[in-house]
Amino acid sequence: MKFRNFKVVSQVIFGRGCFNQLDEMLSHQRKNGFMVFLVDDVFMNHAFRHRIPRHSEDMLLWVNVTDEPKTRYVDNLVRQVKDFSARLPDGVIGIGGGSTMDLAKAVSLMLTNTGSATDYQGWDLIQNPAIYHIGIPTLSGTGAEVSRTTVLTGPEKKLGINSDYTVFDQIVLDPELIAGVPTDQRFYTGMDCYIHCVESLCGTYLNTFSQSYGEKAMALCQDVFLSPGTDSDDKLMIASYFGGMSIAYSQVGVCHALSYGLSFVLGLHHGIGNCVAFDYLEEFYPDGVMEFRRMMAKQGVSLPRNLVSGMENHSMEKMIDVALVLEPLWENALGKDWKTVMTRERIRQLYLRM
């Protein structure tokens, strides 16, 4: 048995208002260069933009995440940074949801590695350490702030750049930054965290490390979505972090595998794609799905339906391919003999219900 030697985020700051210390944190990293701020463009016309501690020499890139991050978009952002200065920046700071944080990770990696981001989709293909990079979530649930991957869609596949270099050097967890997220989006992304917990806790890869983080994250999600209080944003932010820690040392499962297919073919965002799939998975996760429905009712959120029924056959086949490639997810969920249990036909039948 070979154990994973798990790289963690080096520095974490947590608390309401801790974003105000960002300038001071950056001052320790400035070495006659400049910083690159990658910020979700949802804040472009928002008072928050004036709180970004940008110095005159720094670069601010508004990023658009209407589509989930593409390798092409990463290459384009890297080009813009290189055009901005002949020197490399001292740091890259990503401020936004999972998509923006993933873009920041990818840009920090691709500034020091040659070629296209597409070349590095996979496991441990990155050769050189990244530029110092900071993640600052404004939406909680994905666990992108703690993971060793940046999930990207390339021409061929939706697959992360997984490496120890991908992990943020610093994260800033300020619950005040998620206060304005619309209810539906907050629920979809929050459910990403809840589903991380269910899939980790029900999986065959489970161990005490993952269980400890997973159980606490799940309890926090239950508080947030079933018994909300004034500290819900604090709890959701920590749930996301703990849920990410849980799957980092185990794996996700059936829902994530199916959701990857939905997002590749239909362009559904990760959070909503997970919710769409999870609602049909009671045979695999009976308790989790029942509780998920209670949370959805309590939050007054509904899901899109009939997304797959009219789909052309080649799209369906592609969706099944994308889901089946994710072998560790299936093995975690269903055990070593998963291929005898989860056939193409069974996946098709699950998709047809969505």
Of 15, 17, 122, 180, which one interacts with ligand NAD (CB under 6 A)? Answer: 180
CB of 342 to Zn ion, least distance (A): 19
Q: Which range in 78-86, 91-99, 201-209, 327-335 contacts ligand NAD by CB under 6 A?
A: 91-99
- Residue 144's binding partner among ligand NAD, Zn ion, none (Cβ under 5 to 8 angstroms by kind) is ligand NAD
Residue type, 212: S
The 3-state secondary structure of the chain reads CCCCCCCCCCEEEECCCHHHHHHHHHHCCCCCCCEEEEEEHHHCCCHHHHHCCCCCCCEEEEECCCCCCEHHHHHHHHHHHHHHCCCCCCEEEEEECHHHHHHHHHHHHHCCCCCCHHHHCEECCCCCCCCCEEEEECCCCCCCCCCCCCEEECCCCEEEEECHHHCCCEEEECHHHHCCCCHHHHHHHHHHHHHHHHHHHCCCCCCHHHHHHHHHHHHHHHHHHHCCCCCHHHHHHHHHHHHHHHHHCCCCCHHHHHHHHHHHHHCCCHHHHHHHHHCCCCCCCHHHHHHHHHHHHHHCCCCCCCCCCCCCHHHHHHHHHHHHCCHHHHHHHHCCCHHHHCCHHHHHHHHHHC
Among Zn ion, ligand NAD, none, the one that 96 touches (CB under a kind-dependent 5 to 8 A) is ligand NAD
Q: Does residue 185 belong to the site contacting ligand NAD (CB under 6 A)?
A: yes
Site string for ligand NAD, 227-266 (x = CB under 6 A): ----------------------------------------
135 binds, among Zn ion, ligand NAD, none (CB under 5 to 8 A by kind): none
* Alpha carbon of residue 165 to chain centroid: 16
Residues 137-156, interacting with ligand NAD (CB under 6 A): 138-139, 142-144, 147, 149-151
Site string for Zn ion, 150-179 (x = CB under 5 A): ------------------------------
Closest residue by Cα to residue 138 from 237, 69, 67: 237
Distance of closest approach, residue 159 Cβ to ligand NAD, in angstroms: 10
Q: Residue 147 or 163: which CB sits closer to ligand NAD?
A: 147
Per-residue binder mask for ligand NAD (CB under 6 A), 38-77, x = binder = --x-x----------------------x--xx--------
CB-nearer residue toward Zn ion: 145 or 192: 192
Minimum distance, C-beta of residue 192 to ligand NAD, in the bound complex (Å): 6
Q: Which is nearer to ligand NAD, 111 or 144 (CB)?
A: 144
* Cα–Cα distance for residue pair 332/342, rounded to 1 Å: 13
| Dihedral (CA of 159, 161, 164, 166) sign | negative
Closest distance of CB 34 from Zn ion, Å: 33
For residue 209 the two structure tokens come to: 């490390």
Based on CB atoms, which residue is closest to ligand NAD, 34 or 278? 278
Provide the token pair at 152.
Answer: 């990207």
**Which range in 124-132, 146-154, 189-197, 328-336 contacts Zn ion by CB under 5 A?**
189-197
By CB under 6 A, is residue 268 in contact with ligand NAD?
no
* 8 A C-beta contact, residue 9 and residue 171: yes
Using CB under 6 A as the binding criterion, the count of chain residues that bind ligand NAD stands at 29
Tell me which stretch binds ligand NAD (CB under 6 A): 30-38, 93-101, 110-118, 209-217.
93-101
By CB under 5 A, is residue 192 in contact with Zn ion? yes
Sites of contact with ligand NAD (CB under 6 A): 40, 42, 65, 68-69, 96-100, 102, 138-139, 142-144, 147, 149-151, 178, 180-181, 185, 189, 192, 269-271
Sites of contact with Zn ion (CB under 5 A): 192
